[in-house]
């Protein structure tokens, strides 16, 4: 067992630390987090527009007139459907900040760079008619989740060019008398020019290829293959394995894996939302909400069932206390008290059910959704701290099957954890008894 622990400590930890602390990945994750408040606000309107009660739509029409749903979608468009612009700014901002560069300039340049990749025209095909090229307008698809990969890629590219120019010291220096902020705005001219010229040339080159836009190229060459791998059952199991093994060493596995996978999960969430709004079948099972609201119930490792088991069965004083302490946070999917207090970290008897429960729930949930027994997450962003059952109901767009899936996963978790917990609890109890009788039969 100590071999296993030293493997985790020596082999897994340093790699995880590298990924978790990697500058670009951190910037991606922190930048994407900046889009989250807007997505949640947009989701509220999305829920109101699609309330799953029979007769609701007719009732709304009778009060607000036939265009109520369209009006409710205004805020959705200005939040969900511009998430790529926000990400373009925020990722560049965070990356520049980590280089100690002027984050505001880097962020604004990144927005321009992103829009420079984007065609300001699109082909509109009316029903029963030839397609018409509409110019002077950006298709909102490019600014929504469909543009996310481009936004992220060019945020990093533009900030790296920015850094290179600043490092080469190709900046306009202002005379001493000029107010500093004037100087700063001029100083960003040169890096901005370098960035935009580079992106412009890239766009011209891409337009010479069969790909119509940078967005098409990135989607076909990078986005689709990544989604294909990352959103399958296999990819999902591998991701969850990493999450749980990292947590087993005490590192924030969710955060570390997210920094790699989040662009994919966010993109999938946006794709589903677009389809949901249009009333089309949902393309993905695995989205951000698949994790937040279906798998990590009670926290990573689906520990909600473990908490129940502790509250019901704990015999040792330590586990009784911890169970009470962990119940409150657990309802809101926070389980650090268990991870570090029990602990699950570096504790082989608890790591086993921790990993096993996660994988089993991933498989059951995925298959349930794939077979159509359970509603897929519709793209409504439900915060990860939303208590289970409510969260599954909301994330699935108000389907009872979403809530039922939560209950099933809690049951799975309870069944897998309980025998392991009982063994661990007995050992703890013996330890406590031994201490009380003067340590005669001390068991370490």
Partner 1 sequence: MNILLCCAAGMSTSLLVTKMEKAAEEQGVEGKIWAVPANQINLHVDDADVLLLGPQVRFLLPKMKTLGEEKNIPVEAINPVHYGMCDGAEVLKTAINLVNKK
Name the residues that contact partner 1, by CB under 8 A. Answer: 13, 16-17, 20-21, 26, 30, 33, 94, 97, 247, 250-252, 254-256, 322, 325, 329, 332, 334-343, 345, 385
Supply 8's token pair. 């985790």
H helices within 301-399, ranges in order?
304-313, 317-331, 336, 348-370, 390-395
Residue 301 or 402: the one with the smaller Cβ distance to partner 1 is 301
Give whole-number Cα distances, 35 to 80, 86, 88, 91, 410, in Å: 8, 6, 10, 10, 30
Residue pointed to by tokens 């129940």: 308
Minimum distance, C-beta of residue 302 to partner 1, in the bound complex (Å):
17
Residue 383 or 398: the one with the smaller Cβ distance to partner 1 is 383
DSSP string across 168-228: HT--PPPPTTS-HHHHHHHHTHHHHHHHHHHHHHHHHHHHHSSS-SHHHHHIIIIIHHHHH
Minimum distance, C-beta of residue 318 to partner 1, in the bound complex (Å):
9
Residue 316 sits at the vertex; the CA angle it makes with 314 and 321, to the nearest 5 degrees, is 75
Residue 25 or 202: the one with the smaller Cβ distance to partner 1 is 25
Could you give the dihedral angle defined by the CA atoms of residues 90, 93, 96 and 102, in that order, rounded to the nearest 10 degrees?
A: 170
Minimum distance, C-beta of residue 340 to partner 1, in the bound complex (Å):
3
Give whole-number Cα distances, 383 to 205, 255, 284, 293, 363, in Å: 41, 15, 19, 8, 23
Minimum distance, C-beta of residue 414 to partner 1, in the bound complex (Å):
21
Supply 178's token pair. 């000029």
> CA 409 from chain center: how many Å?
20
Minimum distance, C-beta of residue 195 to partner 1, in the bound complex (Å):
24
Minimum distance, C-beta of residue 60 to partner 1, in the bound complex (Å):
36
Residue 102 or 271: the one with the smaller Cβ distance to partner 1 is 102
Residue 243 or 375: the one with the smaller Cβ distance to partner 1 is 243
Q: How far apart are CA 79 and CA 269, in angstroms?
A: 13
Residue 28 or 109: the one with the smaller Cβ distance to partner 1 is 28
If phi > 0 it is left, if psi is from -120 to 50 it is alpha, else beta; for residue 147 that is alpha
| 133 sits in which H/E element | strand 132-135
End-to-end CA distance of the chain: 14
Minimum distance, C-beta of residue 98 to partner 1, in the bound complex (Å):
9
Residue 183 or 250: the one with the smaller Cβ distance to partner 1 is 250
Residue 341 or 398: the one with the smaller Cβ distance to partner 1 is 341
Minimum distance, C-beta of residue 383 to partner 1, in the bound complex (Å):
10
Minimum distance, C-beta of residue 31 to partner 1, in the bound complex (Å):
9
Residue 95 or 199: the one with the smaller Cβ distance to partner 1 is 95
Residue 150 sits at the vertex; the CA angle it makes with 202 and 157, to the nearest 5 degrees, is 60
> CA 321 from chain center: how many Å?
33
């Amino acid at each position: 067992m100590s071999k296993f622990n030293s493997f985790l400590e020596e082999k897994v930890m340093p790699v995880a630390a590298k990924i978790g602390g990697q500058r670009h990945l951190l910037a991606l994750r922190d930048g994407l987090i900046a889009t989250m408040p807007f997505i949640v606000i947009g989701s509220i309107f999305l829920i109101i527009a699609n309330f799953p009660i029979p007769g609701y739509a007719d009732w709304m029409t009778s009060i607000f007139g036939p265009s109520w749903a369209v009006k409710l979608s205004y805020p959705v468009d200005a939040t969900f459907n511009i998430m790529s612009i926000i990400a373009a700014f925020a990722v560049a901002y965070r990356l520049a900040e980590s280089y100690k560069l002027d984050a505001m300039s880097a962020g604004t340049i990144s927005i321009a760079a992103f829009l420079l990749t984007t065609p300001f025209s699109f082909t509109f095909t009316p029903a029963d008619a030839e397609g018409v090229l509409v110019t002077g307008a950006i298709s909102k698809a490019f600014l929504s989740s469909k543009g996310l990969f481009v936004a992220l890629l060019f945020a990093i590219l533009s900030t790296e060019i920015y850094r290179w120019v600043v490092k080469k010291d190709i900046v306009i220096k202002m005379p001493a008398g000029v107010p500093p902020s004037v100087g700063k705005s001029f100083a960003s001219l040169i890096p901005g020019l370098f960035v935009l010229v580079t992106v412009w040339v890239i766009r011209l080159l891409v337009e010479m290829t069969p790909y119509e836009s940078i967005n098409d190229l990135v989607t076909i060459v990078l986005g689709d293959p990544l989604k294909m791998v990352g959103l399958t059952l296999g990819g999902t199991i591998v991701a969850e394995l990493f999450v749980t093994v990292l947590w087993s060493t005490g590192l924030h596995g969710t955060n570390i894996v997210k920094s790699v996978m989040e662009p994919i999960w966010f993109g999938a969430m946006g794709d589903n939302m677009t389809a949901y709004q249009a009333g089309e079948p949902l393309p993905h099972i695995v989205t951000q909400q698949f994790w937040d609201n279906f798998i990590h119930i009670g926290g990573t490792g689906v520990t909600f069932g473990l908490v129940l088991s502790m509250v019901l069965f704990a015999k040792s004083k330590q586990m009784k206390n911890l169970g009470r302490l962990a119940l409150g946070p657990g309802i809101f999917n926070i389980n650090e008290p268990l991870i570090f207090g029990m602990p699950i970290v570096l504790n082989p008897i608890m790591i086993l059910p921790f990993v096993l429960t996660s994988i089993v729930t991933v498989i059951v949930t995925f298959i349930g959704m794939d077979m159509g027994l359970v509603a897929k997450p519709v793209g409504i962003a439900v915060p990860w701290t939303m208590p289970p059952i409510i969260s599954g109901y909301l994330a699935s767009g108000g389907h009872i099957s979403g809530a039922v899936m939560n209950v099933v996963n809690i049951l799975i978790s309870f069944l897998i954890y309980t025998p392991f917990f009982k063994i661990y609890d007995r050992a703890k109890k013996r330890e406590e008894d031994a201490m009380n009788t003067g340590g005669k039969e001390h068991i370490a």
